[in-house]
Amino acid sequence: MGSLGAIVKHPDDIYPLLKLKMAARQAEKQIPTEPHWGFCYLMLLKVSRSFALVIQQLGTELRNAVCIFYLVLRALDTVEDDTAIDTDVKVPILIAFHRHIYDRDWHFSCGTKEYKVLMDQFHHVSTAFLELEKNYQEAIEDITKRMGAGMAKFICKEVETVDDYDEYCHYVAGLVGLGLSKLFHASGSEDLASDYLSNSMGLFLQKTNIIRDYLEDINEIPKSRMFWPRQIWSKYVNKLEDLKYEENSIKAVQCLNDMVTNALLHAEDCLKYMSDLRDPSIFRFCAIPQVMAIGTLALCYNNIEVFRGVVKMRRGLTAKVIDRTKTIADVYGAFFDFSCMLKSKVDKNDPNATKTLSRLEAIQKTCSESGLLSKRRLGKKIQSSFLGIG
């Protein structure tokens, strides 16, 4: 549950938090008995409890495919993230990863904590993968191959331009969007979404994470991970790590706001993608992370704490988003409300204020023109709840 202080400040968090706790217990009870499937769902709970809860929305066949897709890509990401692996070892593994998923005997020890367990016992994931329907296997293999090649490319290349940034985010997250669209289509539940919109879904989430995780990435041992594009940060400081120093606070916040403004470019595409979904379970699975993303951007914008520690939505508000995001009206409402919060934080003296306001107004216009704002569940209360984050 959330911290006692936060619950005292926000007593209306209690019911959603209890529901979230019960859902987590239910997810644990539903872990399959077969050893390989049991391992996969237990790993899912350990590497991403929120994803493990959201995935419960899906029907069994699609849920299994998405679970394996997530773990395969999480394993691939673990190889990419491990800065202790020499490049000449790492690159061939990334490029060949799509073949390893067919090999029940393959594993590669890297990562830490639960990620090391995932890598050491990857044979369980491969075994489960080989039990999926062929169309699911082909979709997962295709995306894994493309993602591994893209990650390998950026091991040897820095993110210099905004185009590089978009390309990197495409490889590590946009392709996830494409893959999920393929899996939804393979299940017979959805039409195949366009690559463009699917890519935007991934980029919006990835750029939010890159913004939020600045300090963790820049302090990575033994080597910093740098994903903010030089084309943006070089307008404010000489080196990316300079943003974390107190004497650069004003420039750091301006750079942060520039990054958030860039991420907002994808919001309208995400709304379009979600408005086209037909299956309620797939809709919730897609919508909850997107609402969390725009909420996180609203929290990060103009917030020096991004350069001082961990910035994230409090657990009670996260529980509310999970509980109350059920329809496209809820999503339009949340995007509208979080855009209002962002707008209230824009300093007219910020170098990107005009651009930021223009993007926020475009999001609000899309939400208003849907004609559904009056039907949202999250409602205006989210604003006071959010602004009082503890």
The rounded distance, in Å, linking the Cα atoms of 339 and 328 is 16
Q: Which residue spans within 11-134 are E strands per DSSP?
A: none
Measure Cα distances from 265 to 65, 183, 268, 313, 355 in Å.
30, 26, 7, 22, 10
Count CB-CB contacts under 10 A for residue 239.
Answer: 12
Annotated active-site residue in 104, 146, 225, 315: 225
First to last CA, the chain: 13
Cα torsion 109, 115, 119, 120 to 10°: value is 70
Give me the residue label for tokens 């911290």: 3
Is 225 among the catalytic positions?
Answer: yes
Judge whether 229 and 252 are in contact, CB under 8 Å.
Answer: no
Three-state secondary structure call for residue 137: helix
Task: Name the catalytic one among 63, 74, 212, 324.
Answer: 212
Whether 172 and 150 have beta carbons less than 8 Å apart is answered as: yes
* Identified catalytic residue from 51, 214, 285, 332: 285
Q: Is the peptide bond before 222 cis (omega within 30 degrees of 0)?
A: yes
- Beta carbons within 8 Å of 101's beta carbon, 6+ residues apart: 72, 125, 126, 129, 140, 141, 144
* CA–CA dist 111, 95 (Å, integer): 18
Q: Are 282 and 177 in contact (CB under 8 A)?
A: no
Could you list the beta-strand ranges (E) of 174-276. Answer: none
CB hemisphere CA count around 87 (13 angstroms): 8
Is residue 364 within 8 Å of residue 339, measured between CB atoms?
yes
Q: How far apart are CA 367 and CA 64, in angstroms?
A: 33
- Residue 168 is a catalytic residue: yes
326, 378, 262, 259 alpha-carbon torsion, rounded to 10°: -120
Q: Is 91 helix (H, G, I), strand (E, B) or coil?
A: helix
| CA atoms in the 13 A half-sphere facing the CB of 216 | 8
Catalytic residue IDs: 168, 212, 225, 285
